[in-house]
Amino acid sequence: MTDPTVPAPADASRSPATVALRTAYRLGWSVGPRLSDGAVRRLSQVIGTVGTRLGGRAVEQVRTNLDALTGRPPSDVLVRAALASWARNLIEAFALPGWTFEQVLAKVSVRGDGPLRAAVAERGAVVALPHSGNWDLAGAWACLTGMPVTTVAEELTGSVDTEFAQFLRLRERLGMTVYGHRDPAVLHRLVAAARPGRVVWWRTGTCSVRGCRCGGGPDRPPRR
């Protein structure tokens, strides 16, 4: 029996932040595939310019990161370029499910992938990815060129949600196998996937176990 004097626990899936995030995902999946390359570039540049002018905690973190990597305070030009790059990656991730295989392959250029392909064919490979670039585009390219990918993705706040299910369907259609980070058996699934003919993308956890170095100093992934 519920005690009426005890407030019910807040439903994280209904918080304003989560609702806004889910709305943004739905809008992105709806609009992204309809944008031309030119529109994506222009929109990314606008986001970079506006974001640099408005500032805020996230932009200050970008400045801090760039300072650590370059060894000097970043100019507004560099910050604007970094924000525009982030925006383009995000928009293209939403647009990706609407691209043809030919469009995906045309957007990726690779050098020196011979050793990786040899390792995948012989025993499989575990690839540690830095927090840069478009993971989804790279994953689609890998799958389309004979290196199917298994990886982990973060689920939105709250319990099982339709947005994550749609995310999985879109990535599976591109050839990827994606597990949610809340899956208690996710580590065992990744170990099982590390076999000849497949690539495991280790997107989180590598630095959290032992720590790593970035820009000449110690670094760890953000805490969830």
Question: Does residue 156 contact residue 18 with C-beta atoms inside 8 Å?
Answer: yes
Vertex 24: Cα angle to 19 and 25 (nearest 5): 100
User: Above 70 in pLDDT, residue 162?
Assistant: no
Q: Is 166 helix (H, G, I), strand (E, B) or coil?
A: helix
Q: What is the pLDDT of residue 213?
A: 60
Q: Is 174 exposed, middle or buried (0-12, 13-18, 19+ CB in 10 A)?
A: buried
Residue 187 or residue 114, greater confidence: 114
Enter the pTM of the model.
Answer: 0.73
pLDDT digits (tens, 9 = 90+) for 32-61: 778 888 888 999 999 999 999 998 888 999
CA-to-CA distance for 150 and 139, rounded, in angstroms? 9
Q: Degrees (nearest 5) of the Cα angle 184, 185, 191?
A: 145
What integer pLDDT is reported at residue 74 of this predicted model?
Answer: 94
Q: Does position 92 have pLDDT exceeding 50, yes or no? A: yes
List of domains in the chain = 12-98 (no CATH), 103-210 (3.40.50)
Q: Look at residue 83 in the predicted model and tell me its pLDDT.
A: 92
pLDDT in tens, 190-219: 889 989 999 998 765 444 444 556 666 665
pLDDT at 98: 82
Q: Rounded CA gap, 223 and 205, in Å?
A: 10
Average pLDDT, the chain: 80
- What does DSSP assign to residue 180? E
pLDDT at 78 over 90: yes
pLDDT, residue 6, reads 42
pLDDT at residue 1 above 60?
no
Collapsing DSSP to helix, strand or coil, 202 comes out as strand
pLDDT at 146: 92
CA distance 149 to 171: 10
Residues 6+ apart with CB under 8 A from 15: 157
Looking at residue 224, the DSSP 8-state letter turns out to be -
Q: What gap in Å lies between CA 167 and CA 25, rounded to an integer?
A: 9
- What are the backbone angles phi and psi of residue 146, rounded to the nearest 5°? 95, 15
